[in-house]
Amino acid sequence: MLIRRTRPDPVGAITPPEVYLQRRAFLRSAGIATAGAVLAPALACRAESQTPGTGSDPFRSNEEPTPFEDAARYNNFYEFGTDKSDPQRNARNFRTRPWTVSITGEVAKPGNIDLDDLLKPHDIEERIYRLRCVEAWSMVIPWRGIELGKLLKRFEPTSKAKFVAFKTLLDPEQMPGQRRAVLDWPYIEGLRLDEAMHPLTLLATGMYGQDLPNQNGAPLRLVVPWKYGFKSIKSIVEIRLTEEQPATSWNISAPREYGFFSNVNPSVDHPRWSQKRERRIGEFGKRKTLPFNGYAEQVGQLYAGMDLRKHF
């Protein structure tokens, strides 16, 4: 596939969050300014050193959640446009019911299942995770969803299943971004089976105590908190268990920039910028990025013996 120089990507023309969220950033910086210019460097320093891990409970980060309105208006969802503000506007009328998900491939009990039958209420739980985007910004989001592993077990993966491939809806009529060759549509992603079965890996149906806003991936999206945000595929219609490693959209688009694993790794820079720091949406200053986005204790073992520079 040709890689267009002008191709927008989850990293390319980065609008700094503080520019996009001008008003919020302005208010915040104004707050700092009124507290006195002397305080500013001290606060910047604190932001830099505030890099806690996940706290004692990895399923519920002890950090302050990003304000809902920021998480719902600063989005990457190229099916609805490549600007951060496009998805909120263009996904307004996206139909998320009825919604069928097919679970196929290396499973003993494949099926096409209506979303509302797929999700058993007693499986749904709340999680608070950090989301670290490859563009070097991050958020903290309270999700609602089901552990992907619990769901997959119901379909009985066969002994041949080694990977899980995901696919987003293909519907250019509803998704105007799919009328442009920005990516090879539909958006596809994949995980190794052990990553998919890890208890941190969530299929989210909601956030901040309500159903997912369309722009955040309604009605069903993946959340893999130790990987860069682009692995967290939205509006999923197919989950296929495979023997071979599946192709992924960003790897097809720019293989030297986006690998299959895409674990958050501050010591492996993106070819075009550093991954050492990140800007938390709505905050002033930057903080250090943590290996595996702060989930190293939980997931580091999955990659024991692997060269994570090679398998980026």
What residues line the site for ligand MTE (CB under 6 A)? 10, 75-79, 131, 133, 168, 187, 216-217, 229-230, 232-235
> Using N-to-C axis directions, what is the helix angle for 39-49 and 22-34, rounded to 10°?
120
Minimum separation from the CB atom of position 302 to ligand MTE (A)? 21
Of the pair 86, 106, the CB lying nearest ligand MTE is at 86
Of the pair 143, 303, the CB lying nearest ligand MTE is at 143
Minimum separation from the CB atom of position 304 to ligand MTE (A)? 27
Of the pair 14, 124, the CB lying nearest ligand MTE is at 14
One-letter-per-residue 3-state SS of 155-208: CCECCCCCEEEEEECCCCCCCHHHHCCCCCCCCEEEEEHHHHHCCCCEEEEEEC
CB-closest chain residue to ligand MTE = 229
Sign of the alpha-carbon dihedral angle for 177, 180, 185, 187: negative
Of the pair 157, 264, the CB lying nearest ligand MTE is at 264
Minimum separation from the CB atom of position 159 to ligand MTE (A)? 30
Q: Is the Cβ–Cβ distance between 21 and 282 less than 8 Å?
A: yes
How does DSSP classify residue 102? E
Minimum separation from the CB atom of position 229 to ligand MTE (A)? 3
C-alpha 3/C-alpha 182 separation (Å) is 10
Of the pair 157, 232, the CB lying nearest ligand MTE is at 232
Minimum separation from the CB atom of position 256 to ligand MTE (A)? 17
CA dihedral 272, 5, 81, 256 (to 10 degrees): -50
